[in-house]
Structure 1
């Protein structure tokens, strides 16, 4: 995100406008009673702050100090224990919210990403080890649970983020910079922010309540003491708060927490089966719209809920269950926060007609087994895992089109595959001129000896060929 260059030009206009306010609007009034003097947010803070925790993550990495230390001659010549692996501890710090008496905690995925040991500390200084129940990088949320038995825990109720309005008062509670639990106050500055760049579901609450590093995973709370969002990111050039913070709405938090409660290791969401695009000003004019709005259906897959509901290319989706859709990101969020098993009503414009179509809320199908294969060591793909593509696999990897083929479903950082530039989500089309149609095809092709490897890859819609040494 980038600050608008027009912003400095607005300040003189705003200043003049303030001076031009009527005298009545500039009048100040003194408190009229003792109760007005004592107005405070403290009752809400006392109610909710105990349920906000500090989250500490750690990961121990063991590395050789130098590759020469593996050579027996080198070690004999220089002596010492040079070959002993060196330990490096990677740490993270964030916040979390207890949302269930059983000790279930929700936080940001990036707070515990790659962490193998996670602990939490309550506001009353009690500390607990926790287990990671669910990681959901697509929403940047994770769910933890306190290990073992414990005394009764404070809990924060999950509210309804759909009832928020711009201007509502909110509190942000977390552990900024590791200084300890901190409460800041502000308002809801905007809703449905979609160009934030965090996760796949771009639909954030914007607030001017101060949020800083360490606040990630903390609570955004309304005046009834309900959790309306999980604080996730800030817009800043300095690293500190400038009054532009973003929170994941409670509606999405609820879905992720319910998935963890039910024992799921991943979140299963409704599958749509269509490609959507933004409505530009030109498209809006050609469709007779007053302004650009909605999500335009650019294509419908052969099988899936969209085609079963009767959607066609060129349809404009305007609302889901009566909730207005401004763009494809808003549609994706609304669909993702619907529970599986039911239906949703889509308000659709087709030409000059307005239709109501019913779409089933079912998970993405695994139309063919994924047949995950760990790829052979004697190849540039060493350490990576390949799977057959299906709508379910494409959904998990955030691929736009669930086409046939083979995809790299796992590419760990410390592998040969990662070092040569291969990425999770790469679709492998061919190896040394041989078309790859299944994970078994890829495994067989890579088990052949070769002086070089010519690999054709589809990465985010761009097809290219790379030649790597054998």
Structure 2
């Protein structure tokens, strides 16, 4: 008598029959079994449009970019790139003594040679490159743009081409005010690949950019990003107008180019913002238009000559605009014309607001400085100024900027005299010794005057551009401003020998 199958074996038999039937059905419907099994093994794929890259651009422009090496009697820092002020962040000397990296550098030293027995100790290290930066050719006969801070401490220079060739270079000239420098390689047998300075005025926030340089000594490194902002002022100098990019820029990228997608240089990398010393996506480039003006002069004459009119200027704030009747807070406020300077000779006075030069609007004080500097000395310029509620035109002969502009730091002595108060502003003042203005002797720390930076020792020279002899003159200026519907009174403040304007709001009773 046949043995009965157990329930579990019976179920397995049913499963086997069902699987066989399913596979048989699949074969009949779709073909061979191997084809069915392959269908289950296919990976997931997604068809997307081809994305454009930067390879073609990079292939053409990278041969024009060089690594700049600078020799000096100074010793190279442990990080390998001595560019003061360019990067912020801790160095190896700031690491804890027990940090493994610090132990490594103590053991092996800066030259990578182990301090093993038999090595001569206490020997002064040999002269080494103090800086390694970047640069790029702008002509086939060997002119190279880089940063001033890359070459500033050097006494010998060389550049390394993309193919590894190292060539000696000479320094043609520098311009510390814009942090630009020009090198020249003399090799009559070569025609160098070079790139052109483009039109940065057409650059828009969001445009793609490509940076090429020598970060950390890694020559020919390419990074990409976008233009993050335009017209950045980072307090680097009087002509700040930087292009901000988020392409990765690091130590050694100094002096390297930032390209648009047409292969034109729109900026020269010069600084980054970083709490760590490495790239965090905030880098700043000198606009190509600024570089072109500076570099052309350096190549022709070896130095830069700038226009100058001899004025101290400050921005026009909304409070200041309200106090003088300007519709918008634009232009540059003349704090003080220099005695004997071109502006003073032409009749420019403290309190004038320069709103245009040769018919071109002036947006702010930095723009005025740049526009004046770009005018050739000896030329005449028509300045539109706002004075006493009206626009006037003043013709000024542009002079050459003096090499040294010394500023006195001697303040006016405060003599004990009968004090007067401006209660609405929290100020206590006394008449000055020479009768010009009133001297501030006390400032309420909770007052608007304190918030605006007025301090003891400051001298209030004018109120709404009218001379001040005592508190009565200031009160009269306040009443006049109220009658004209102004929201603030404009005070000219003298601190030592520096003059500025402060707009204080008029209290409503």
Matched residue, 1:300? 337
- Which among 142, 145, 157 is matched to residue 196 of structure 2? 157
- Alignment partner of 2:368: what SS? helix
Offset at residue 174 of structure 1 (A) = 1.1
Matched residue, 2:278? 240
Offset at residue 43 of structure 1 (A) = 3.2
> Equivalent residues in 2 for 1:355-394 (5 A)?
355-364=392-401, 391-394=402-405
> Equivalent residues in 2 for 1:242-261 (5 A)?
242-261=280-299
Decide whether aligned partners of structure 1 residues 102 and 240 sit closer, same or farther in structure 2, where only a CA change above 3 A counts: same
TM-score by length of 2: 0.58
Matched residue, 2:368? 331
> Equivalent residues in 2 for 1:335-346 (5 A)?
335-346=372-383
Offset at residue 88 of structure 1 (A) = 4.6
Decide whether aligned partners of structure 1 residues 202 and 38 sit closer, same or farther in structure 2, where only a CA change above 3 A counts: closer
- Alignment partner of 1:262: what SS? helix
Task: Kindly indicate whether residue 313 of structure 2 is the aligned counterpart of residue 276 of structure 1.
Answer: yes
Offset at residue 129 of structure 1 (A) = 0.4
Decide whether aligned partners of structure 1 residues 345 and 201 sit closer, same or farther in structure 2, where only a CA change above 3 A counts: same
Cα distance between partner residues in 2 of 1:292 and 1:197: 21
Task: Kindly indicate whether residue 95 of structure 2 is the aligned counterpart of residue 58 of structure 1.
Answer: no
Cα distance between partner residues in 2 of 1:105 and 1:301: 38
Decide whether aligned partners of structure 1 residues 165 and 275 sit closer, same or farther in structure 2, where only a CA change above 3 A counts: same
Decide whether aligned partners of structure 1 residues 359 and 186 sit closer, same or farther in structure 2, where only a CA change above 3 A counts: farther
Q: How many residues get paired? A: 324
Task: Kindly indicate whether residue 387 of structure 2 is the aligned counterpart of residue 350 of structure 1.
Answer: yes
Offset at residue 188 of structure 1 (A) = 1.9
Offset at residue 345 of structure 1 (A) = 4.2
Offset at residue 52 of structure 1 (A) = 1.3
Matched residue, 2:137? 98
Matched residue, 2:506? none
Root-mean-square deviation (CA, aligned residues, Å) is 3.1
> Equivalent residues in 2 for 1:101-250 (5 A)?
101-194=140-233, 196-250=234-288
Instruction: Say whether the 8 Å CA contact 1:140–1:198 is kept in structure 2.
Output: no
Instruction: Say whether the 8 Å CA contact 1:252–1:337 is kept in structure 2.
Output: no
Cα distance between partner residues in 2 of 1:109 and 1:461: 31
In the alignment, structure 1 segments of 5+ residues that lack a partner are 1-28, 63-80, 365-390, 404-459, 463-470
> Equivalent residues in 2 for 1:23-102 (5 A)?
37-60=50-73, 87-89=126-128, 91-102=130-141
Cα distance between partner residues in 2 of 1:83 and 1:242: 39
Decide whether aligned partners of structure 1 residues 123 and 363 sit closer, same or farther in structure 2, where only a CA change above 3 A counts: same
Provide Cα deviations, 1:356-397, integer angstroms capped at 9, x if missing partner. Answer: 444434313xxxxxxxxxxxxxxxxxxxxxxxxxx4422xxx
Cα distance between partner residues in 2 of 1:315 and 1:308: 14
Provide Cα deviations, 1:79-135, integer angstroms capped at 9, x if missing partner. Answer: xx9999764535211100111222111101111121112110122322210001112
Offset at residue 39 of structure 1 (A) = 2.1
Cα distance between partner residues in 1 of 2:286 and 2:368: 16
Decide whether aligned partners of structure 1 residues 138 and 305 sit closer, same or farther in structure 2, where only a CA change above 3 A counts: same
Instruction: Say whether the 8 Å CA contact 2:211–2:259 is kept in structure 1.
Output: yes
Provide Cα deviations, 1:299-331, integer angstroms capped at 9, x if missing partner. Answer: 112333323444222111223455543432232
Instruction: Say whether the 8 Å CA contact 2:354–2:383 is kept in structure 1.
Output: yes
In the alignment, structure 2 segments of 5+ residues that lack a partner are 1-45, 76-119, 411-495, 499-509
My pick for the range that moved more, 303-312 or 109-118, is 303-312
Cα distance between partner residues in 2 of 1:168 and 1:339: 33
Cα distance between partner residues in 2 of 1:269 and 1:402: 26
Instruction: Say whether the 8 Å CA contact 1:119–1:129 is kept in structure 2.
Output: yes
Provide Cα deviations, 1:146-179, integer angstroms capped at 9, x if missing partner. Answer: 1342410111111222332323322222111112
Provide Cα deviations, 1:424-464, integer angstroms capped at 9, x if missing partner. Answer: xxxxxxxxxxxxxxxxxxxxxxxxxxxxxxxxxxxx979xx
- Alignment partner of 2:204: what SS? coil
Decide whether aligned partners of structure 1 residues 213 and 278 sit closer, same or farther in structure 2, where only a CA change above 3 A counts: same
Decide whether aligned partners of structure 1 residues 38 and 166 sit closer, same or farther in structure 2, where only a CA change above 3 A counts: closer
Decide whether aligned partners of structure 1 residues 393 and 86 sit closer, same or farther in structure 2, where only a CA change above 3 A counts: same
TM-score by length of 1: 0.62
Offset at residue 252 of structure 1 (A) = 2.0
